[in-house]
Structures are given as structure tokens and as C-alpha cells.
Structure 1
Amino acid sequence: MVAATIFLTSYGQLVLKWQANVPHAPLPGWLGRLPVVVQMLARPWVLSAFVAAFGASLCWMMALSRLELSRAYPFMALNFLLVTLIAIPLFGESLSPAKIGGLILIVAGLIVISQGAP
């Protein structure tokens, strides 16, 4: 359930970034006068990101019913790793030495925390 939470959360973030950068024609009539962020809510991909967020919440609740929060929560940091690494090829984002160092620290932290868990 933790892995499903991480996957669904990462999916949602990547889709929202993609859709925020894709130009779309304004909605017809008075709907076209709504702020762009509100108009985005009519896009199927954006709606799928919200469904994924809801699904992630359900998975998280199931995970927490079986695991201690202190054991499960550190793995949510994997979202940073996945989103960063996937955003490089998808969106042409850079991978600086500082980002690499941060990602290494996240992985090292997860290793250390998982060793201390009973």
C-alpha cells in the first residue's frame, strides 16, 4: 500500500506539471473567463491526477492501518526521488550536483531509518 501511495502521488504531480505547461484553448462562453487554474479542472488528465490523489489517500489509510506511522512515513520521501528523476526526461529539467546530493541523502536517510525499525 505504501508503494501504491508513492506511485499514485508521483503520477499526480507529474500529470499536473505536464498539464500546467500544455497550452489549451479557453473554455467556451462564460467559462472562458474563469481563471486558467479553474479551467484546468475540466481537463481529463487533471481530473485523473485528482483521482490518483484520492486513491493515494485510500492506499495510505490502508498502509497506516497495518504499519506504524514512524515506519511508513519516511518512504514518502521516495516521491522526491521519483518525481525528480522522471521530470528530467519528461520535462527537460536539469540534474545539478546539488540535486544529486540531495537525492543521495534521501536514499541514505531511508536506509538508516529502515535499519532502525523493529
Structure 2
Amino acid sequence: MSYLFVALTIVLTVYGQLVLKWQAGLIPPSPQVGHGLLLYVVRMLLRPWVLSGLAAAFLASACWIAAVSRFPLSKIYPFMALNFVLVGLLAVPLFGESLSQSKIVGLLLVIAGLIVTSRA
């Protein structure tokens, strides 16, 4: 059950990042600085999907609090690297982002680092 909090932290964080990217891509920011940017942020904060992404971030934080209360931080923190891997991989089919050879190598290095640090 305790590892469920770590998994929920990852899933909710990934969800939040992907939803915010999706919504930000639907309404590009105004090139104006100052009031234009402020209005853009306010408009974004009123969108239900954006609010769901922010709620996911809050819930992820709550799950993380539960996780760190049950495990040594050095044991579970490396799993947060899965956020980079999952968001990087899911951005390819969802947003048409490229997955170059260097990105693949980088993601594999993150996974290797996760394996090494979680066994220590």
C-alpha cells in the first residue's frame, strides 16, 4: 500500500504536466508582456482542464507527503525520475514532439540511474 502513494505521485504529476501542456498549446500566450501575460494566465486558470491539472499537482503533493512519511527519502526519491521518462515518451504521440537518438539515450540513462540508485 505504501508504494501506491509513490505510484500515485508519479501518475498525478505526469497527468498534470501533460494536461497543462495540452491546454497551453490550445491558446498560445499573447506576445505582449505585462497585462497581456497576466490576462493569459488568468484565462488559463479559468479553464476546467487546467484546474484539473493543478488539482492533480496538489493531490500528487499529498501522496508524496504520505510516501515520504513511510520510506527513507533516499529510497523513493529516485522514482521521481520516472516523471521525466513518462512525460518525454508520452509527449511524442500526444503532441508530436520528436524522439531523437540523443533523447532516447538520455531517457535510458535516467532509467539506468533509477535502477542503480534504487538498489543502493
TM-score band, normalised by shorter chain: 0.7 to 0.9
> Bigger radius of gyration, 1 or 2?
1
Counterpart code for 2:59: G
Structure 2's unaligned 5+ residue stretches are 29-35
**In structure 1, what is the equivalent of residue 65 of structure 2?**
61
Match of 2:16 among 12, 16, 24: 12
Deviations 1:70-99 (A, max 9, x none): 111110000000001110000000001110
For this pair of structures, how many residues does the alignment match? 109
**In structure 2, what is the equivalent of residue 38 of structure 1?**
42
**In structure 1, what is the equivalent of residue 101 of structure 2?**
97
Q: CA RMSD in A?
A: 1.6
Cα offset for 1:23? 3.1
Cα offset for 1:114? 1.6
Runs of 4+ in 1 over 6 A off after TM superposition: none
1:114 and 2:115 aligned: no
Q: TM-score, normalised by structure 2?
A: 0.86
**In structure 2, what is the equivalent of residue 27 of structure 1?**
none
**Aligned residues with identical type, % of pairs:** 65
Is the Cα–Cα contact under 8 Å of residues 76 and 118 in structure 2 kept in the other structure?
no
Q: Secondary structure at the match of 2:109?
A: helix
